[in-house]
Amino acid sequence: MRHFVIVGVLVILVAGLTYIGLDSMGLMPIAASAQAIPIDWMWNWQVVAISFLFSLIIVPMIYSMIVFRRRKGDTTDAEHIEGNTNLEIAWTVLPLFLVLTFAYMGAFSLGEMRRADPNAMIIKVSGQQWTWTFEYPETGVVSSELHLPLNRQVLLMMESKDVIHSFWVPEFRVKQDVVPGRITEYRITPSLVGTYMVRCAEICGTSHAYMESKVIVDDVAIFDAWMVEQAELAAIKTPEGMGKQLVTANGCLGCHSITSVSLATAPTWFGLYGAEVPLADGTTVISDDAYIAESILAPKAKEVAGYSPTIMPAFTLTDEEIANIIAYMKTLK
Ligand code: CUA
């Protein structure tokens, strides 16, 4: 009996210390959505259960190894135990109860996460290798950054243009696959102003690791101002403006930078128009209208040195669209 009391006290003590240790490690990033509350609540109880079960196994094991170790000269056998019905009932019923409790908590949290607000703002999300595009159907605005208003539920209607991707903002907690040929839904109510990052959580090709976009949560007034500004920009129908929209809508900037520094995935567009481009076969080409058009329609025709093999997919765009994109590229210098 004395051993049971000592082990019992030690189990509770070690469980408490394990929980405090795990909790202070900061395993979760900051919570920035209403949906994070039920998830973090459940996660916390999971950590409690994990700490207790860890202690329940480790403490009696180490205690037995030390206290009941074989002494020098002891050649007797241990006591032979045939079975213990009460113990067997206990270790069947208690875990069953624990598992059922967590099943209920999981179902409850899932229900909370899917709770639909009829006033939710719909945003169309498109994933493609290796970029995200966001479209606001109410205003027609297309953006490569996801801007969200604070404390209003948004419903993301997501679809992939090619392979399976996965939409994941760790601070929002919820994650959802984005698949071709089918629309998947993702509800979120941002609860904290800030700039976050959506990253792709499904291996989708060579540049999967770079498939991320900014997610900006703002007060409603700032969000509305951004939306008005974007809608005004979209209304200006200059070739450069339309080219910029095409570039955003087609996700070009997921791989191509527009600053003097290239991303790892593709050459920058900054100062590209008219420049001499070194090719993988050792020759060079002048970056003129014909070369750029060819690079959009058949990217593998002329592989750029340092970016071979070419990972860019071929895009089907009209002559006019390509001319607009080139007009936009000419402004990047
Ligand atoms: Cu898209 Cu990984």
Of ligand 1's listed atoms, the one at least distance from the Cα of 178 is 1
How far is the centre of ligand 1, averaged over its atoms, from the C-alpha of 314 (Å)? 18
CA distances from 244 to 2, 128, 234, 268, 316 (A): 77, 18, 9, 15, 17
Of ligand 1's listed atoms, the one at least distance from the Cα of 204 is 2
CA distances from 102 to 95, 173, 328 (A): 11, 18, 55
Question: Which residue is listed with tokens 């030690």?
Answer: 10
The pTM for the full model equals: 0.73
Predicted local confidence at residue 317, as pLDDT: 86
How far is the centre of ligand 1, averaged over its atoms, from the C-alpha of 112 (Å)? 27
How far is the centre of ligand 1, averaged over its atoms, from the C-alpha of 210 (Å)? 8
How far is the centre of ligand 1, averaged over its atoms, from the C-alpha of 86 (Å)? 52
Q: Rounded to an integer, what distance in angstroms lies between the CA atom of residue 127 and that of residue 167?
A: 9
Q: Kindly tell me the burial class for residue 240, based on how many C-beta atoms sit within 10 Å of its own C-beta (0-12, 13-18, 19 or more).
A: middle
Strand order of the β-sheet with 141-143 is 141-143, 131-136, 121-128, 154-160, 184-188
Of ligand 1's listed atoms, the one at least distance from the Cα of 127 is 1
Predicted local confidence at residue 26, as pLDDT: 82
123 and 154 Cβ atoms separated by less than 8 Å: yes
Find the largest Cα–Cα distance for the chain. 96
How far is the centre of ligand 1, averaged over its atoms, from the C-alpha of 162 (Å)? 10
Q: Which residues line ligand 1 (CB under 6 A)?
A: 127, 130, 165, 200, 202-204, 208, 211
How far is the centre of ligand 1, averaged over its atoms, from the C-alpha of 167 (Å)? 9
Q: Rounded to an integer, what distance in angstroms lies between the CA atom of residue 305 and that of residue 307?
A: 6
Of ligand 1's listed atoms, the one at least distance from the Cα of 164 is 1
Element (H, E) at 19: helix 2-24
Element (H, E) at 11: helix 2-24
How far is the centre of ligand 1, averaged over its atoms, from the C-alpha of 247 (Å)? 19
Q: Rounded to an integer, what distance in angstroms lies between the CA atom of residue 242 and that of residue 41?
A: 47
Tokens encoding 228: 């008005």
CA distances from 252 to 191, 247, 259 (A): 31, 5, 14
Residue nearest to atom 1 of ligand 1 (CA): 165
Close Cβ partners of 108 (under 8 Å, ≥ 6 residues apart) = 38
How far is the centre of ligand 1, averaged over its atoms, from the C-alpha of 203 (Å)? 5
Neighbours of 69 (CB within 10 A): 8
How far is the centre of ligand 1, averaged over its atoms, from the C-alpha of 196 (Å)? 17
Of ligand 1's listed atoms, the one at least distance from the Cα of 165 is 1
Neighbours of 223 (CB within 10 A): 19
Of ligand 1's listed atoms, the one at least distance from the Cα of 163 is 1
Of ligand 1's listed atoms, the one at least distance from the Cα of 201 is 2
Q: Which residue, 142, 262, 141, is CA-closest to 210?
A: 262
Predicted local confidence at residue 310, as pLDDT: 84
Q: Rounded to an integer, what distance in angstroms lies between the CA atom of residue 29 and that of residue 251?
A: 28
How far is the centre of ligand 1, averaged over its atoms, from the C-alpha of 193 (Å)? 26
In a structure prediction context, what are the per-residue pLDDT tens digits for the chain, which is 333 residues long? 889 899 999 999 999 999 999 989 888 899 999 999 999 999 999 999 999 999 999 999 999 999 988 888 888 888 888 889 999 999 999 999 999 999 999 999 999 888 888 889 999 999 988 889 999 998 888 888 999 999 999 999 999 988 999 999 999 999 999 999 999 999 999 999 999 999 999 999 888 988 889 999 999 999 999 999 888 877 777 888 888 888 887 888 888 888 888 887 888 998 888 888 889 888 889 888 889 889 898 888 888 888 888 888 888 888 888 888 888 888 888
Of ligand 1's listed atoms, the one at least distance from the Cα of 202 is 2
